[in-house]
Amino acid sequence: MGPDARNQPAAARLSGGRRKCIMHVDMDAFFVSVELRTRPELRGKPVIVGFPGERSVVLSGSYEARAFGVKSAMPMAVAARMCPQAVIIEPRHKLYYEVSAQLMAIFESVTELVEPLSVDEAFLDVTGAIRRLGPPREIGELIRRRVASELGITASVGIAESKFVAKIASTRCKPDGLLLIGPEQTVPYLHSLPVGALWGVGAKTAEVLARMGIRTVADVAATPVSTLRRLLGAGGEHVHRLSWGIDPRPVTPVRLEKSIGAEETFAVDTSDDALLHRELLRLSHRTAGRLRSSGMVARTVALKLRFADFSTITRSRTLQAPVDSAQLIYAVAVQLLESVGHRAMPVRLVGVRAEQLEDTATTSVQLTIDRRDENWRAAEQVLDEVTRKFGSKSVLPARLMEPGGGAG
């Protein structure tokens, strides 16, 4: 079967009925860009967002820092060696989620079909918005202008007939760009790319394919499906379809947040229960603050422990009523910690996560009959307001101000 015949399913899909127009909108170095709004003097310089501790990791790097090899999730110690002149900014997760909510509101003003992938990127099906807002390129530029003017950050937009190709387009036009890959351009464009551009083809898969002389997307397209199945198993057919731009998945609106949480790696592994309890309290406040700023409550609280040998365990508990109070989250986290029992190794990392999220607009927060729960929640809402005005370290629970109360 020749290439033209193999491409017929895509051609038939694209020619039948109204053609889809899908965008992938992705912010450029999101955390860094948000921080530079209030620190414009750092524009054009290498900047890293992350905690400065040696055992912390990079959350985001400016493109100037990336030029030195700095990448997200890289240990901060490694990043500091690669780019010693970089300015390190501690992250403000609450702020990032607030900006993310504003970003998603811009998307939803364009189309109801928005599928968030993370705090700073989403797929948009704008097929139905073309008659109202104009051609796809104009819609993409409208989104970019609004993100720049209303949020003070930049976005890259990929436009195509499928999610897969739109994602490739946004990646290829970063930073601060727009790339439209039309129907007639799709296959030629894909076939000009290395095989690693295909979803599901990581470094190991690329090595397997390279041993068979398959190094480009065009090579994959020219390889019989039976051969790809033999090499890659069930994923072989999937990869082959992508090589011809065939990706029929619709844009499916989903809630951005499936869970909200925080975790911390200790500067020194610890078995000190008092220190673990203080850190759980700190993380519970961070988690609860992010819940309230996102307008959400949680029905499940989860605890994460990573030990000195990097083994990791999680424990969770589902509550009778949803919560957004740090004290209630903390109480459950302590119970979960106690349920672990004897720990043979010291703890390297501890985390608290709120799961099974619900929108407070449609869920009533039912507290226990203990009046203290209501008092705690009211106090934390006041703390939110103070934090908004004066910063996250203006007011802290007394226990978190004790010497040695923090992690590295």
| Cα–Cα distance for residue pair 397/402, rounded to 1 Å | 10
pLDDT tens digits, residue range 337-352?
999 988 889 999 999 9
Under DSSP, the state recorded for 66 is H
- Alpha-carbon 363 to chain mean position: 25
Residue that the structure tokens 């240990």 belong to: 75
Report domain extents, the chain. Answer: 259-401
Domain 259-401 sits in CATH 3.90.1200.10: no
pLDDT above 80: residue 11: no
CB of 340 closer than 8 Å to CB of 388: no
Mean pLDDT of 159-168: 96
Q: What share of the chain is helix, strand, coil (3-state, %, to 5)?
A: 45, 20, 35
Q: Is the pLDDT of residue 16 over 80?
A: no
Q: Which two tokens stand for residue 146?
A: 């609004």
Annotated binding residues for Mg(2+), written as ranges, equal 26, 120
Query: Is-contact 23 159, C-beta < 8 A?
Result: yes
121, 25 in Cβ contact below 8 A?
Answer: yes
User: In whole numbers, what is the pLDDT of the chain averaged over residues?
Assistant: 84
Burial 358-397 (b: 16+ CB within 10 A, else e): bebeeeeeebeeeeebeebbeebeebeeebeeeebeeeeb
Total-model pTM: 0.64
pLDDT (0 to 100) of residue 123: 96
Rounded distance between C-alpha atoms, residue 100 and residue 259, angstroms: 15
Residues annotated as binding site? 26, 120
Catalytically active residues, by annotation: 121
The Cα–Cα gap between 186 and 10 comes to 10
CB within 8 Å of 201: residues ≥ 6 apart = 195, 209, 239
